């Protein structure tokens, strides 16, 4: 029988400042964040809101972890204390994002739950992802806004984070390109995997080198000794 998800258990028992989450997110969080729980890590969350999710991350991750919350609302400064730092700024401001990376990075876990506008999401990813630890995990949620016109979205609309991520899934496979204009880049070399879920994409980092294929065993269709084996040569 599977062990209970500690994040979902915390949420169901929680009575503090508001946490607002789609329920299926809890499985995704635990699937990708569980490996970071046993030692201190640095967590960056865009979108402090009422401060409840900061309490959830404090409960979930190691007590000595560093948690940085980012919001545009000055009132969120009240949630600073203990292992939680608060930075106030616009996540579409690339200078602000670079300051975050220089001051607090490298980040092991990033939860992007900020303003949900396309420019905010793309700027945050482009500036923060390279500033993460080698095996870090970047999770961006509420990507249903890529389909909502009020946020700059729409099905197959150019400039949404979903369309941006589709191109990154090609870049993940650039090792296999036969085209001169489609080459391996830094993203290809530092990204182990991408995981697409309803409204969520998770990027898992890792140092990557060109994939290699090897063969083992004999060729079943090239039989020379009557016993299904090729002679040693």
Instruction: Examine residue 15 and state whether it is found in any structural domain, yes or no.
Output: no
Does some domain include residue 131? Answer: yes
Domain annotation covers residue 44: yes
Per-residue pLDDT for 233 more than 50?
A: no
Residue 190 domain-assigned (yes or no): yes
CA distance 203 to 194: 5
Residue span of the structural domain in which 154 resides: 38-205
Annotated catalytic residue, options 24, 32, 116, 195: 116
Residue 22 lies in a domain: no
pLDDT, mean of residues 206-219: 92
- Classify residue 149: in a domain, yes or no: yes
pTM of the predicted structure, to 2 decimals: 0.92
Q: What CATH number should be reported for the domain holding residue 79?
A: 3.40.50.150
- Quote the number of domains for the chain: 1
In a domain, residue 120? The reply is yes
**Which whole-number Å values give the CA distances from 154 to 144, 147, 158, in the listed order?**
10, 4, 9
Closest CA to 192 of 143, 136, 141: 136
Catalytic annotation present for 116: yes
Whether residue 97 lies inside any domain: the answer is yes
- For residue range 73-105, what is the model confidence (pLDDT) as tens digits? 999 999 999 999 999 999 999 999 999 999 999
């Amino acid at each position: 029988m599977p062990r209970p998800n500690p994040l979902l258990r915390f949420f169901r028992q929680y009575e503090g400042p508001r946490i607002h989450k789609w329920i299926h997110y809890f499985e995704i969080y635990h699937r990708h964040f569980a490996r970071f729980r046993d030692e201190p890590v640095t967590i960056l969350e865009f979108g402090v809101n009422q401060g409840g999710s900061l309490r959830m991350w404090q409960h979930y991750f190691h007590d000595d972890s560093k948690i940085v919350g980012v919001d545009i609302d000055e009132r969120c400064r009240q949630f600073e204390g203990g292992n939680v730092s608060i930075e106030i700024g616009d996540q579409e401001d690339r200078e602000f994002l670079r300051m975050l990376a220089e001051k607090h990075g490298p980040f092991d876990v990033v939860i992007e739950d900020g303003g949900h506008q396309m420019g905010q999401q793309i700027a945050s990813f482009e500036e923060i992802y390279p500033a993460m630890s080698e095996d870090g995990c970047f999770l961006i949620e509420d990507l249903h806004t890529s389909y909502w016109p009020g946020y700059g979205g729409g099905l197959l609309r150019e400039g949404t984070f979903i369309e941006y991520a589709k191109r990154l899934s090609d870049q993940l496979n650039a090792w296999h390109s036969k085209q001169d204009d489609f080459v391996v880049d830094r993203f290809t070399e530092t990204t182990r995997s991408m995981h697409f879920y309803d409204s969520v994409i998770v990027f898992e980092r890792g140092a990557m080198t060109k994939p290699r294929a090897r063969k083992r065993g004999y060729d079943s269709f090239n039989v020379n000794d009557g016993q299904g084996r090729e002679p040693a040569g």
